[in-house]
């Protein structure tokens, strides 16, 4: 595919030359990415990204059968983008005990899940060994499930609460059964932006240090960006370049996941706490974010589109604009839901496969680290496909009303 197929004579010549460079497999610069982010040539960027995707990973679209367990919404931080967290004094604060976390992991495994994804708020006065104890308890009961848990923010908090180094804390987590870290808490890796949208949150340098050390220990991670709030094209481009440089050094990222800012209930949007706040990214911004990630991140094979953030119709578009992974079944998704996402908490495997086949691509189930990928035939039925009554899983809004999980009962703060 060359740019003459995209009616090159109608295009901005600078954009055309950058896309030619991408098609030739050359590394794009920050300046190149800024040009693409600021360009109106959305269709051309998407088509080139899709061509690069096909050359790099073929026509498989992967997914993982997993369950999210957000075990507490109580948090000492007050990030401007987060509508999930609650102060420990609030009536809606909840805290799942370890036995309930394990029960959910066992249920997920019985339904075919290969992964549990565990993230939560930073509860005050939390026992710093809690994260480790959760891993041990899950592995005792469900030894074969992969534990994908704890953002760099949580790792740092656990280290602080145990008065140990991040390095030693990561070693303890790995020994307890942790399989990989979500590369969340990255937001935008620009300290000036972070100080505006999440003052007091983990710093850019701390995030990088924890990610690199996890990779050094053989703990793979995902990588993410949260966009569509107050950042501009330069911030996005520099974030991508930084992720690429870390990957050159460590080879520890399994995927890159753009996460659009869900603004509806976000405090910094509702109360106009930050100057220049936007009401999330436009559809063109979303397409470009995924497509340019594919073009910039030549050393990360997998670009995921989050169906829970974007919705199914937008996800279909993005899967034709450079993305090759549709994420997980989730079963319980609390953080985006609390922020105002309307896309649900669960997508069954058969529904994921239907989305993939609708764009004439090949569904393939994967494990967390993309090391085990199997193409699923048309007649395959997963246990989760047979679950009609999803009320057993409980929605986030139901959970925060349940007295038996009130923070005051199970929290230590």
Nearest to 152, CA basis, from 194, 213, 196, 82: 213
> Which residues 6+ apart lie within 8 Å of 141 measured at CB?
102, 105, 106
**Nearest-angstrom CA–CA distance, 404 and 131:** 21
Give helix 130-141 / helix 166-176 axis angle, nearest 10°: 20
Phi, psi of 392 (to 5 degrees): -60, -25
Helix (H) or strand (E) holding 61: strand 60-64
For tokens 């105002």, the residue is 340
| Per-residue tokens: 84 | 């999930």
Per DSSP, the chain holds a count of helices (H) and strands (E) of: 18, 10
Q: How many domains does the chain have?
A: 1
Q: Is residue 396 part of a domain?
A: yes
Residue 4 lies in a domain: no
| 24 lies in some domain | no
Q: What is the pLDDT of residue 38?
A: 98
Residue 379 pLDDT: 85
- Residue (of 233, 270, 332) closest to 81 by Cα position: 270
Nearest C-alpha neighbor of 64 from the set 113, 11, 127, 128:
113
Question: What is the pLDDT, as a whole number, of residue 219?
Answer: 98
Q: How far apart are CA 412 and CA 405, in angstroms?
A: 13
Report if residue 25 sits inside a domain: no
Alpha-carbon distances of 192 from 188, 200, 203, rounded to whole Å: 9, 12, 10
Tell me if 2 sits within 8 A of 44, measured CB to CB. Answer: no
Q: What are phi and psi of 373, to 5 degrees?
A: -120, 125
CA distance 335 to 120: 9
Which CATH number characterizes residue 380's domain? 3.20.20.70
Classified as helix, coil or strand, 385 is helix
Structure confidence at residue 215 (pLDDT): 98
**Angstrom distance (rounded) from CA 401 to CA 92:** 7
Q: β-strands 221-227, 253-260: how paired? A: parallel
The one-digit pLDDT tens for each residue of the chain (413 residues) are: 555 555 555 789 999 999 999 999 999 999 999 999 999 999 999 999 999 999 999 999 999 999 999 999 888 877 766 655 555 445 568 889 999 999 999 999 999 999 999 999 999 989 999 999 999 999 999 999 999 999 999 999 999 999 999 999 999 999 999 999 999 999 999 999 999 998 889 999 999 999 999 999 999 999 999 999 999 999 999 999 999 999 999 999 999 999 999 877 777 777 677 888 998 999 999 999 999 999 999 999 999 999 999 999 999 999 999 999 999 998 865 544 444 445 456 899 999 999 999 999 999 999 999 999 999 888 899 999 998 866 667 665 565 556 566 565 444 44
Is 35 inside a domain boundary?
Answer: no
Q: What is the pLDDT of residue 340?
A: 43
Report whether 264 contacts 339 (CB < 8 A).
Answer: yes
The pLDDT of residue 291 is 98
142 φ, ψ (degrees, to nearest 5): -135, 70
Strand 362-366 vs strand 373-375: parallel, antiparallel, or unpaired?
antiparallel
Tell me if 396 sits within 8 A of 390, measured CB to CB.
no
CA–CA gap between residue 368 and residue 221 (Å, rounded): 10
- Residue 332, domain extent: 58-410
pTM summary value: 0.92
Q: What are phi and psi of 178, to 5 degrees?
A: -60, 130
Give residue 72's region: left, alpha or beta (phi > 0; psi -120 to 50): beta
């Amino acid at each position: 595919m060359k740019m003459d197929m995209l009616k090159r004579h109608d295009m901005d010549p600078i954009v055309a030359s950058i896309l030619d460079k991408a098609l030739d497999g050359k590394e794009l610069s920050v300046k190149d990415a800024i040009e693409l982010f600021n360009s109106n040539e959305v269709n051309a960027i998407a088509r080139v990204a899709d061509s690069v995707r096909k050359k790099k990973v073929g026509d498989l679209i992967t997914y993982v059968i997993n369950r999210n367990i957000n075990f507490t919404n109580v948090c000492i931080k007050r990030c401007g983008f987060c509508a999930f967290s609650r102060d420990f004094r609030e009536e809606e604060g909840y805290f799942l005990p370890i036995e309930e976390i394990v029960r959910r992991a066992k249920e997920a495994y019985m339904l075919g899940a290969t992964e549990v994804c565990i993230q939560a708020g930073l509860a005050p006065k939390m026992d710093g060994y809690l994260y480790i104890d959760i891993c041990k308890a899950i592995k005792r009961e469900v030894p074969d499930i992969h534990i994908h848990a704890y953002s760099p923010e949580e790792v740092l908090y656990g280290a602080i609460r145990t008065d140990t180094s991040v390095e030693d804390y990561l070693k303890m987590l790995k020994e307890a059964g942790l399989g990989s870290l979500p590369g969340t808490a990255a937001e935008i890796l620009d300290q000036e932006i972070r100080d505006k949208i999440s003052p007091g949150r983990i710093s850019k340098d701390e995030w990088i240090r924890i990610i690199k050390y996890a990779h050094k220990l053989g703990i793979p991670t995902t990588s993410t960006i949260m966009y569509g709030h107050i950042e501009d094209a330069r911030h996005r481009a520099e974030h991508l370049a930084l992720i690429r440089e870390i990957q050159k050094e460590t080879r520890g990222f399994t995927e890159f996941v753009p996460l659009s800012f869900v603004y509806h209930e976000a405090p910094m949007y509702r109360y106009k706490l930050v100057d220049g706040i936007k009401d999330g990214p436009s559809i063109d911004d979303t397409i470009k974010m995924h497509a340019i990630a594919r073009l910039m991140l030549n050393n990360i094979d997998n670009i995921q589109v989050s169906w829970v953030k974007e919705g199914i119709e937008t996800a279909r578009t993005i899967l034709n604009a450079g993305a090759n992974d549709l994420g997980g079944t989730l079963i319980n998704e609390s953080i985006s839901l609390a922020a105002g996402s309307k896309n649900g908490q669960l997508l069954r495997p058969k529904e994921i496969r239907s989305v993939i086949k609708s764009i004439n691509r090949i569904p393939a189930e994967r494990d967390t680290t993309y090391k085990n990928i199997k193409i699923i035939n048309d007649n395959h039925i997963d246990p989760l496909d047979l679950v009609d009554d999803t009320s057993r899983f409980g929605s986030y809004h139901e959970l925060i009303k349940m007295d038996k999980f009130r923070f005051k009962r199970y929290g230590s703060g």
